[in-house]
Structure 1
């Protein structure tokens, strides 16, 4: 999924970018980077691993500047290598361009081939470099026009922050697949980020979503807004299901309220006799609380979480995910023993996490384990930034609910309905991308289907 941040200020931004990236760490754990403009040139520091591992006092001395962008990476397009970490920095037409991207382009392969045939060299294997190359190619004195021409070529999901001279530029695809927000402080400092947490932590007012198709330019004269074309809203609903922080409010929907309402609705749709409701923390906790409150079954902590572990779904290999589940979550025997348990989780993607947890809960003495999922079955791959490239990796694409129940070892299994999930958003109209659930793709991913 990745997380991006950009800051335009009158003071040094390096530590603010560092703190902002830490608040976005849940969106990517494989690599992180910061690029700032020091008044004369751009300075870039990045590497593999967590934000805290990559930056220290010496880094901040190098990264002195009042405009900057940052990125935390979750690998989708391109492998997990240091050369694919972001931001990317390029030199073209006597100018410096630095760019960070959250999302996934569905036509980057054909554009890359075209650019290579024109003689352009690439330093990475990621789709982000295609965006950067096009902006540099189309720049002829007007950076906004270069961005518009780039947006006319690229298709798919992209929320982008970019440095150009003394300007901070940001743009979001016409569907608004991936989130992007902007806020301004009373002192005129502008922050643009993937979620609202960095804006609130660092300190801004007037927080709003960058609109689909919107292009933002921030310079010494303030904030300027332009549009590429009319938007066609298809916000990723899986952001609210799993990826976004619980305190995130994206495009008018708060993640906590959404997840909790899903739990309440699921309790009505799939009731069960049980002694306790427990959550798969942390993204499953609001749903479990909603399920418990609506059903009247007591809520308890039955899985102890290691707070020093990252998110298991975004580990790059199955072996790492399985080991991470064991390290991250441990069943609490004194709570589970001889009890009928309802376990509420946000989703089942591959099924490995659920199977592992149920086996270990029963080993800890749980009499029954009933699985309740606050999203519909994930049956189709996402081509807009979630690492599910093939249906063969998705358990619900290959097995019925009853077959999944048998495979993961649950005594019963139920998913929320699509109508129930959409009702939990609280919006009057459906403006969400649900392609991972129903296979209806707003932007046809012909190049990426495998």
Structure 2
């Protein structure tokens, strides 16, 4: 296998120039089989999935003459996988790719070896895998594998899958992948490839998304439907929880390698992670977020002059709140669309400007008005305080926060980079204490039942058998975070 790696680490200011106080997206995966120049389609798909990971990206392709080829780069897809010079090194009708934000491994110390897809050269032939999610028993698996002689090349939990496959005695690579994934705990949507097969797998609970599309005579696998749209692929269906699909030029085979389990899809995909033009579970993400705003207006009305979103993730919920409440919607905050990784390296003075580099208040609209600010979440509250100060500086009479998710009081261990629990505002403060801390006239979050109603569960959340994974709100983890518990993490008690 040949490759075009850059053996360097990214400048930290390029990957996270400002603390934007948001839960970081997990990762995005994409694969194509049965089309000429498959890697070009993968690059387009990854571009559409860029919101799921901006730190790095990689593509592996296979061509009968050239064999397996790979390219891995730090930064945005548009900066790395659009030149003819790079893409001509990735020939073939089969390719997979990955965009990354580090949720496991050495966060903040990323090396090129941590960038997926990962490749393994087995006795049965080569295989590459790209993983979205997080393996909750990765430390235990890694320790066991190292003791048995495995040599790891990265700090990523995903590499465990390659080593487990290498030790399997399965007769085919899909057989080996099945055996490996049965030993893995946690959340995983995997897109993989051999010389002739494109493979997609979701964990038994289906925590992370994965969809199937048809493009010409070939097929595509993607984290979200919006990436199928960009390549002109027809959405076929979602890969079901606990399902493995093996796609060749002869068609699609479906396997069920895991014990049946009740689906627990991540509800925060509906709130924030997925793009609003994607479809999740047959539902428009945009319409769901608008419904969240409507529910929020029903639960927490307040007299005001305008409803303003915190762009861009708060926009659909703000529209829903405005429609339901009858209070006019206004773009009171404008986002600088050109603030990206190509911006000048921040000095300390520029860092102190903080959120003002990304957002600016529309003073003509705000002055003298009672303003409802709608945002998707409050994590540590640092950005919320800065935005409140900007609104007041612009002359607002009152500032009311309405949050389109319940209080985030617990960390996620399933593929989302979450601060430690003690750094989550909702873990240490009541709603009233948070309102006082943020210095706003009122602060209200949508209830967990309200969120469930917004995503289509008319009766709200079933407390005995929740329909989604909502651990970041409820503290009820559907998959035990084994490594974290071993390292001292305390699960929710009956008193909480």
TM-score normalized by the length of structure 2: 0.86
Q: Distance in 1 between matches of 2:164 and 2:283?
A: 33
Gaps of 5+ in 1: 312-318
Q: Distance in 1 between matches of 2:298 and 2:92?
A: 54
Equivalent residues of 2:228, 2:235 under 8 A apart: no
1:26 deviation in Å?
0.5
Q: Which residue does the alignment assign to 2:80?
A: 54
1:355 is the counterpart of 2:380: no
Equivalent residues of 1:322, 1:352 under 8 A apart: no
Q: Which residue does the alignment assign to 1:227?
A: 256
1:73 is the counterpart of 2:109: no
1:141 deviation in Å?
2.3
1:410 deviation in Å?
1.2
Q: Which residue does the alignment assign to 2:481?
A: 445
Equivalent residues of 1:83, 1:124 under 8 A apart: yes
1:262 deviation in Å?
0.9
In the TM superposition, what are the counterparts of 1:405-416 in structure 2 within 5 Å? 405-416=435-446
Deviation per residue, 1:296-317 (Å, 9 max, x gap): 1100001111123469xxxxxx
Cα 1:61–1:323 shift into 2, 3 Å: farther
Q: Distance in 2 between matches of 1:256 and 1:97?
A: 36
Q: Which residue does the alignment assign to 2:22?
A: none
1:304 is the counterpart of 2:334: yes
Secondary structure class of the residue paired with 2:58:
strand
* Match 1:123 to one of 141, 153, 156: 153
Q: Distance in 1 between matches of 2:133 and 2:117?
A: 14
Equivalent residues of 1:39, 1:166 under 8 A apart: no
Q: Which residue does the alignment assign to 1:209?
A: 238
What is the alpha-carbon root mean square deviation over aligned residues? Answer: 1.8
1:90 deviation in Å?
2.2
Deviation per residue, 1:170-205 (Å, 9 max, x gap): 1110010100000113x3210100000111221222
Deviation per residue, 1:308-348 (Å, 9 max, x gap): 3469xxxxxxx999866332211111111111100001111
Q: Distance in 2 between matches of 1:142 and 1:96?
A: 11
Q: Distance in 1 between matches of 2:360 and 2:236?
A: 38
Q: Which residue does the alignment assign to 1:315?
A: none
Cα 1:365–1:264 shift into 2, 3 Å: same
Q: Which residue does the alignment assign to 1:314?
A: none
Cα 1:323–1:70 shift into 2, 3 Å: farther
Q: Distance in 1 between matches of 2:419 and 2:144?
A: 24
Secondary structure class of the residue paired with 2:484:
coil
TM-score normalized by the length of structure 1: 0.95
